[in-house]
Amino acid sequence: MSEHKDFLRTIVEEDLKEGKYKEVVTRFPPEPNGFPHIGHAKSIYINFGIARDYHGHCNLRMDDTDPTKEDTKYVEALKDAVKWLGFNWGENVYFTSDYFPKLYNYAVQLIKMGKAYVDSLNEEEIKEYRGTVTQPGLRSKYADRSIEENLDLFERMKKGEFKDGEHVLRAKIDMSAANMKMRDPLLYRIRHVHHFRAGDEWFIYPMYDFAHCLSDYIEGVTHSICTLEFENNRDIYDWVLDTLELEPPRPYQHEFARLGINYTVMSKRKLLELVEGKYVSGWDDPRMPTIAGYKRRGYTPESILNFCDQIGIAKANSMVDVSQLEFCIRDDLNKKAPRVMCVLEPLKVTIINYEGSEEIDASYYPHDVPKEGSRKVPFSNELYIERDDFMENPVKGYNRLTLEQPVRLRHAYIITCKELIKDAKGNIIEIKAQYHPDSKSGSDTSGIKVKSAIQWVDAKKAKTIEVRLYDRLYKNEAPEGLEDLNPDSLKIIKNALVEPAVITEKPDERFQFERQGYFYADPVDYTEENPVFNKIVGLKDSWTKKSKTENKPKQEVKKVQIHGEEAPMNETQKALFDKYVDELKLNNEVANILARDESLSKFYEEALNVFNSPVHLANIVANEVAKELKEKEINKLKFNAKQIAQLIKMVEEETISNKIAKQVFEQMSKTGENPTQIVEAKGLVQISNPAVILPIIEEIIAKNPEMKAKYQAGNEKLLGFFVGQVLKTTGGKANPKVVNELVAQKLK
Ligand code: ATP
Ligand code: MG
């Protein structure tokens, strides 16, 4: 069981204690309209996890009520994901479409009770009659139809006698309800389309609000756990189940916060756009936040579950830093992955005083990993090392091979550079070196001091592989569109070299290529002729810690540094760096920037004291504040740490959007005003309340009927149009996430 009890588990425990249910039954109810992503992993972890912890059951149910977007391939992907994460749904996968006959009967029952009617207003009229948050709606004149007429019309709707949109079935609740969702919600609509499972049998399809609660009830679900955007739907959920006077016990809905991760998009709709536009190679592209993508990239299910456990379950929406996920995978692989050697950019080394060849026994694991095993690494007088492990004119603090400075070849001997061979343009193409026969790793009596050990491969025995290095899919933390895609998210190295053991090991193995990162044989493109390896994740930049231990090479090569290597950190900086990475979970770059600059780290810690949001604050200090500091001295800054903390607090509490925060920061740095003052004076408070946003959305949709029709005919890109209009109308103040969700719902 997860260590910390969250609010959902608290509810479940109380219900069990009170004897409300004999057994806990949850369900994971995805719509099969795309591949599941890391957000779904959170939902899977919650639903299956709760069922497991309380010895209950979790159903896997395909919520397939919108035949225009659904497909069997998505059903398979969803099953794969649940299975891969290690959960078991029992004998059956359930489908809402299997309940269509039952749902139809429940609808008939509601009609007979006088609680549902066939409405013949068109869509625009229905919107218009619904009223606004401040104005009650008007009931349709068709609401007075007799029960007989309603039954007759509904049956004929089912038989396909009417065109799409001609009639709908609505619940008769309250056209002046404060919760707009309760203003006679739609229960069924006519759709003359083929359903991937139900075939052509149905011409009417139930709406989510009708189908979901009843499917839960039919399956004996006890706790129907969903994300926060369904909070207002809960009233309908309860109304349907209570009105039908179903035999108890009945399920109850509970909401939790959706997971968001920075530097990526998450909704299936946006991911589908990337797939269809060929911005990625498919749903399982290793850069995608899909379960299939993570799986192909080499993530382990354990690491994803661990991540879900760490982020916890809350009631407030939040954005999680992707580096937290990366931390989890690194943490998992550190304990499991054999260490091997790979050279990405080879530079030839000829050892002039070595003859013949040998095989060196080399352990797969460092001492602090409780695993054993070793392999033979071939060694001869022709080797390759990493090009940037040699510097002709070394920068200060460079610890690897130079003309004067010897280096250890990991697991093998110490070498000293004797001569450089250059091409006509002056590029180094080969190093001639001398090895020290008495310096062999494990039995070194040479007395030669080296500052580091580097990876290498034997020139004749090494295998050529293709290596795919991945970076974030988007260059912005909160991407807004395709223009934010990171053009450098994939880098392919065609001629990397690995020691032979990597190829002979079983292909499902995840390796640590020492000092490079963790790698995984690509399950799709790997062939014997062209072995392809994906970089799963980089290593923690801990060279500051480990470079002193001779046999442990420093961990990460920072490829971003163009001008050689940075100077080593002093003790204080190192301590700060470690704290930032280990405790505060900052990513290496940000931790590095902060730790090395005293005024920045002081500023950061001061801000942290005011508002404890390590990652978010670190990002703004390492970027925006640092930029200001390049131009001014710290005591000339117009703003102080406390104000920055206030700014971030407003963003996290969703008082203002990220976009507005940038605007506010600019003004702060010019005038020194308090962020709260600026926001107040300019009226920049973010609008997240659906009740305020909905009428605006409805008005915009009503004004653009053609756009809406095109959207519903399949041009999903138009969603952006509607969202854009809403944001524009509110001067950028509407919460884009809320707007996005509401617009998508409204256009359904
Ligand atoms: P998307 O917008 O990505 O299509 P969705 O909510 O429409 O997501 P469904 O397939 O309907 O996706 O969701 C299945 C389950 O997964 C639901 O219970 C939903 O609440 C949950 N879920 C979806 N996205 C997230 C997320 N980002 N965080 C947590 N749970 C999520
Ligand atoms: Mg959806």
pLDDT (mean) for 487-515: 90
- Which atom from ligand 1 is nearest to the alpha carbon of 34? 4
For ligand 1, atom 22: residue with the closest CA: 40
pLDDT at 541: 34
| Residue 88 binned pLDDT confidence (cut-offs 50, 70, 90) | very high
Residue 574 sits in the same domain as residue 657? yes
Residue 621 sits in the same domain as residue 719? no
- Which atom from ligand 1 is nearest to the alpha carbon of 29? 14
- Mean pLDDT for the chain? 91
Instruction: Sort 127 into a burial class: Cβ within 10 Å, 0-12 / 13-18 / 19+.
Output: middle
Q: Which of 31, 229, 231, 652 is catalytic?
A: 31
pLDDT (mean) for 77-104: 97
Residue 130 sits in the same domain as residue 197? yes
Number of independent structural domains in the chain: 4
Annotated catalytic residue 31 = yes
Comparing CA positions, the residue from 357, 363, 383, 366 lying closest to residue 375 is 363
Ligand 1 pocket, Cβ-based, cut-off 6 angstroms: 29-31, 39-40, 42-43, 63, 226-227, 258-259, 266-268
- Which atom from ligand 1 is nearest to the alpha carbon of 259? 28
| Residue 368 binned pLDDT confidence (cut-offs 50, 70, 90) | confident
- The more confidently predicted of residues 748 and 42 is 42
Backbone angles phi, psi at 257, to 5 degrees: -80, 135
- The more confidently predicted of residues 277 and 653 is 277
Q: Which own/partner contact pairs does 664-669 have at CB distance under 8 Å and 24+ positions apart?
A: 665/620, 665/624, 668/638, 668/639, 668/643, 669/628, 669/637, 669/638, 669/639
pLDDT at 566: 56
Residue pair 79/60 in contact by the 8 Å Cβ criterion: yes
Q: What is the DSSP string of 76-115?
A: HHHHHHHHHTT----S--EEGGGGHHHHHHHHHHHHHTT-
pLDDT at 341: 98
pLDDT at 685: 85
User: Cα dist. 60→30, 140, 345 in Å?
Assistant: 8, 38, 47
Residue 375 sits in the same domain as residue 405? yes
Q: Give the number of residues written for the chain.
A: 748
Say which residue the tokens 């996430």 belong to.
737
Left, alpha or beta for 594 (phi > 0: left; psi -120 to 50: alpha)?
alpha
* Closest ligand, as measured to the CA of 257: 1
Residue 350 lies in a domain: yes
Q: Is the pLDDT of residue 557 over 70?
A: no
pLDDT at 261: 94
Residue 677 sits in the same domain as residue 551? yes
Residue 649 sits in the same domain as residue 722? no
pLDDT at 506: 62
Cα angle: 53, vertex 56, 59; to 5 degrees: 110
- Which atom from ligand 1 is nearest to the alpha carbon of 269? 4
- Which atom from ligand 1 is nearest to the alpha carbon of 267? 3
Residue 311 lies in a domain: no
Residue 422 sits in the same domain as residue 458? yes
Annotated catalytic residue 258 = yes
- The more confidently predicted of residues 571 and 129 is 129
C-alpha 269 – ligand 1 centre gap (Å): 11
C-alpha 745 – ligand 2 centre gap (Å): 9
- Name residues whose C-beta falls within 8 Å of residue 16's C-beta, 6 or more positions apart in sequence: 24, 54
Last residue of a domain, one of 446, 462, 478: 462
C-alpha 229 – ligand 1 centre gap (Å): 10
Backbone angles phi, psi at 583, to 5 degrees: -90, -45
The CA distance from 584 to 582, in Å, is 6
Residue 314 lies in a domain: no
Residue 673 sits in the same domain as residue 585? yes
For ligand 1, atom 14: residue with the closest CA: 30
pLDDT (mean) for 318-342: 92
Q: Which of 145, 158, 181, 268 is catalytic?
A: 268
pLDDT at 5: 80
Q: How many CB atoms lie within 10 A of CB 584?
A: 17
| Residue 4 binned pLDDT confidence (cut-offs 50, 70, 90) | low
For ligand 1, atom 26: residue with the closest CA: 39
Question: Which of 151-165, 291-305, 371-385, 558-572 has the lowest average pLDDT?
Answer: 558-572
- Which atom from ligand 1 is nearest to the alpha carbon of 258? 28
- The more confidently predicted of residues 630 and 97 is 97
Residue pair 454/407 in contact by the 8 Å Cβ criterion: yes
Q: In which domain, by residue range, is 734 found?
A: 690-746
Residue 109 lies in a domain: no
| Residue 505 binned pLDDT confidence (cut-offs 50, 70, 90) | low
**What percent of the chain has a predicted confidence (pLDDT) above 90?**
73
For ligand 1, atom 10: residue with the closest CA: 30
- The more confidently predicted of residues 726 and 246 is 246
C-alpha 79 – ligand 1 centre gap (Å): 15
Strand partners, 318: 259
pLDDT at 711: 87
The CA distance from 92 to 66, in Å, is 21
Q: Which of 172, 181, 234, 258 is catalytic?
A: 258
Residue 554 sits in the same domain as residue 675? yes
The CA distance from 260 to 318, in Å, is 6
Residue 696 lies in a domain: yes
Residue 717 belongs to a domain with what CATH number?
A: 1.10.10.410
Q: What is the DSSP string of 369-400?
A: SS---EEEEEEESEEEEEGGGB-SSPPTT--S
Residue 427 belongs to a domain with what CATH number?
A: 2.40.240.10
Q: Which of 93, 221, 227, 269 to mutate to test the pocket of ligand 1 (most atoms within 8 A of CB)?
A: 227
Last residue of a domain, one of 154, 175, 207: 207
Residue pair 52/82 in contact by the 8 Å Cβ criterion: no
Q: Is the pLDDT of residue 555 over 50?
A: no
Return the sign of the alpha-carbon dihedral for residues 51, 56, 62, 64: negative
Residue 616 sits in the same domain as residue 706? no
For ligand 1, atom 8: residue with the closest CA: 267
- Name residues whose C-beta falls within 8 Å of residue 639's C-beta, 6 or more positions apart in sequence: 668, 669, 672
C-alpha 222 – ligand 1 centre gap (Å): 19
* Closest ligand, as measured to the CA of 77: 1
For ligand 1, atom 23: residue with the closest CA: 40
3-class state of residue 740 by DSSP: helix
Question: Which of 291-295, 458-462, 489-493, 672-676 has the lowest average pLDDT?
Answer: 672-676
Q: Which of 8, 43, 216 to mutate to test the pocket of ligand 1 (most atoms within 8 A of CB)?
A: 43
C-alpha 448 – ligand 2 centre gap (Å): 64
pLDDT at 220: 98
The CA distance from 239 to 653, in Å, is 32
C-alpha 30 – ligand 2 centre gap (Å): 8
Residue 677 sits in the same domain as residue 695? no
Cα angle: 44, vertex 47, 48; to 5 degrees: 75
User: Cα dist. 202→30, 67, 160, 213 in Å?
Assistant: 21, 10, 8, 20
Give the DSSP H or E segment for 294: helix 291-297
| Residue 550 binned pLDDT confidence (cut-offs 50, 70, 90) | very low
Residue pair 363/374 in contact by the 8 Å Cβ criterion: yes
Last residue of a domain, one of 462, 497, 529: 462
pLDDT (mean) for 569-593: 86
The CA distance from 470 to 534, in Å, is 8
- Name residues whose C-beta falls within 8 Å of residue 714's C-beta, 6 or more positions apart in sequence: 68
Q: Is the pLDDT of residue 545 over 80?
A: no
Q: Is the pLDDT of residue 15 over 50?
A: yes
**What percent of the chain has a predicted confidence (pLDDT) above 70?**
95
- Which atom from ligand 1 is nearest to the alpha carbon of 266? 3
Residue 300 lies in a domain: no
For ligand 1, atom 9: residue with the closest CA: 30
Comparing CA positions, the residue from 502, 563, 487 lying closest to residue 532 is 502
Residue pair 67/195 in contact by the 8 Å Cβ criterion: yes
Residue 49 lies in a domain: no
- The more confidently predicted of residues 719 and 512 is 512
Give the DSSP H or E segment for 38: helix 38-53
Q: Which of 40, 45, 64 to mutate to test the pocket of ligand 1 (most atoms within 8 A of CB)?
A: 40
Residue 652 sits in the same domain as residue 736? no
Comparing CA positions, the residue from 263, 226, 269, 222 lying closest to residue 241 is 222
pLDDT at 706: 86
Residue 157 belongs to a domain with what CATH number?
A: 3.90.800.10
| Residue 738 binned pLDDT confidence (cut-offs 50, 70, 90) | confident
C-alpha 275 – ligand 2 centre gap (Å): 17
pLDDT (mean) for 308-324: 85
Residue pair 549/450 in contact by the 8 Å Cβ criterion: no
Q: What is the CA radius of gyration of the chain?
A: 31
Q: What are the start-end ranges of the E strands in 112-176? A: 116-119, 168-171
C-alpha 155 – ligand 1 centre gap (Å): 33
Residue 355 lies in a domain: yes
Q: Which amino acid is at 381?
A: N
